[in-house]
Structure 1
Amino acid sequence: MSLLDGQTALVTGAGGGIGSALALRFAEEGAAVALHCRTSVQTAGEVAARIRELGGEAVVLRADLTDEAACHRLVRETTDWSGGRLTALVNNAAVQPVQPLAGMTAAQWRTVVDTNLGSVFACTQAAAAHMGEHGGGTITHIASVEAGRPAPGHAHYSAAKAAVVMHARAAALEYGPHGIRVNSVSPGLIDREGLAQAWPDGVRRWLDAVPTGRLGRARDVADACVFLASPLASWITGHDLVVDGGVSARPTW
């Protein structure tokens, strides 16, 4: 018996590295998975095909999550596909541009906040309304260690991710009586193809600092989310689970 047998999960941003790993891990544990994407249709489609090859159920759904109405439509499309079932939402969709504060425009600020925080608000609201009427469920936000440790050029990203962590806590408080658990997962530096070549200094500094001696893998984040969506975490809500190889434990002075 798998950890998520009988569940239906919606994963936003499923065309990216972490999102693809999330969708696959949820499917491996028995969940039917709706993979959201905005532009990465081919990648999301390949992941969905892989899930079906493994004997699972998957569908790809497109939406611009900066549009509140599109977030609510995405949840409706998921429940229409699944026969009225949605038990887990993972709010993973995000952007991470680099822009120093001194030259940042209000439009650049809004783009990051609307994508990384506004979508969490709207998707959570829509999913929780359904879950509350159908026996409850789980909602997990993908935040970041930058929610507590800002990086140069990431003021908009760090501020939005800090708000995502607090949103999870507030949502856990208000939705708990309806059988809905809400948590966040804060990854550290997650490896991806070409990262070491594109940012050699950053990768070196991370490896010098992290106690476990490696970069994170997308599957590390996915494993944490599977745990939080499973019965193993039935009394865990309002929690931020840091997945960073221990780098947060390192002294900063």
Structure 2
Amino acid sequence: MPDLAGTVTCVTGASGTIGRGIARRFAEAGSAVAVHHRRPGAAEDVVVAIEAAGGRARAFTAELTEDSACHALLDAVAEWGGRLDALVNNAGVQPVEALADLTAERWREMLDATLTSAFSCTQAAARLLGDGGSVTHIASIEARQPAPGHVHYSAAKAALVMHARGAALEYGPRGIRVNTVSPGLIGRPGLEQDWPEGAGRWRRAAPLGRLGTPEDVGNACVFLASPLASWITGHDLVVDGGVTTHPTW
């Protein structure tokens, strides 16, 4: 693991499966981790696990669909840690809803939770990040390959990729790097029992023959936030076990 000792990282949506893996990997790399969650108490066990392993973490609650809450969150994290070095915009939702049934309200909910929250948190973090600071959005391979019932999700993730590229262009002169990580199917407890057909199809399609893990995503985020990626910005790092290498015809 890269050595991130002495740094402070904020991971949004860190009470979910992927967010937990990202937070743990940053802590294992030596960073102090601000563990964001939407509902009070939802991520306390993540903090406990990090501290039990010798790391430093604190839970922060904020409603990221509110711009002012995003700015207050990042200010609070910087005050707690004494600095801010990295932000991972992982917060979002993943409902399944056919396009024909999708309402404008549900469309806006997706964009607010996934895209606008990343916009606001990035803007807030940029005021606090120093030279070499890093922002990483968690996008998805569905930014390029949509799935049925995921039109709003795919659109939001595609927008995240382009937001990161634009932010990389504008914040680059200040030494701030902005990238995306696009995971494929990430396993969670019970997934293969709940969706055996889909998990099986994924295994057969993936050259590496397995589902991803939250730690796989965390490893990519830690790399992008580390000095090893000091000349990487505006990049979308695909973490999918090779699924997208397959031709679509």
On whether the aligned pair clears a TM of 0.5, the verdict is yes
Whole-angstrom CA distance in 2 between matches of 1:226 and 1:65: 23
- Between the two proteins, the alignment pairs up a number of residues equal to 249
Q: How far apart are 1:138 and its partner, in Å?
A: 0.3
Q: How far apart are 1:136 and its partner, in Å?
A: 4.1
Q: How far apart are 1:2 and its partner, in Å?
A: 5.0
- Structure 2 SS opposite 1:237: coil
Whole-angstrom CA distance in 2 between matches of 1:76 and 1:206: 41
Show structure 1 runs of 5+ residues with no match: none
Taking every aligned residue pair, what percent have the same amino acid on both sides? 61
Q: Classify 1:64/1:185 alpha carbon distance in 2 versus 1 (closer, same or farther; 3 Å).
A: same
Q: How far apart are 1:54 and its partner, in Å?
A: 1.9
* Superimposed CA distance per residue, residues 110-137 of structure 1 (whole angstroms, 9 cap, x where no aligned partner): 1111101000100000001111xx3340
Counterpart pick for 2:153 among 149, 153, 157: 157
Counterpart for residue 82 of structure 1: 81
* Superimposed CA distance per residue, residues 9-36 of structure 1 (whole angstroms, 9 cap, x where no aligned partner): 0000000111111111101111000000
Whole-angstrom CA distance in 1 between matches of 2:132 and 2:248: 41
Q: How does 1:3-22 map to 2 (within 5 A)?
A: 3-22=3-22
Whole-angstrom CA distance in 2 between matches of 1:223 and 1:128: 23
Q: How far apart are 1:229 and its partner, in Å?
A: 0.4
Determine if the alignment matches structure 1 residue 232 to structure 2 residue 232: no
Letter in 2 for 1:3: D
Counterpart for residue 89 of structure 2: 91
Counterpart for residue 181 of structure 1: 177
Counterpart for residue 26 of structure 2: 26
Partners of 1:13 and 1:19 within 8 A in 2 = yes
- Structure 2 SS opposite 1:10: strand
Partners of 1:16 and 1:40 within 8 A in 2 = no
Q: How far apart are 1:6 and its partner, in Å?
A: 1.2
Partners of 2:2 and 2:223 within 8 A in 1 = no
- Structure 1 SS opposite 2:128: helix
Counterpart for residue 46 of structure 2: 47
- Structure 1 SS opposite 2:92: coil
Q: How does 1:129-148 map to 2 (within 5 A)?
A: 129-131=127-129, 134-148=130-144
Q: Classify 1:225/1:2 alpha carbon distance in 2 versus 1 (closer, same or farther; 3 Å).
A: closer
Whole-angstrom CA distance in 1 between matches of 2:171 and 2:17: 30
Partners of 2:86 and 2:225 within 8 A in 1 = yes
Whole-angstrom CA distance in 1 between matches of 2:224 and 2:24: 16
Q: Classify 1:40/1:222 alpha carbon distance in 2 versus 1 (closer, same or farther; 3 Å).
A: farther
TM-score normalised by structure 1 residue count: 0.96
TM-score normalised by structure 2 residue count: 0.98
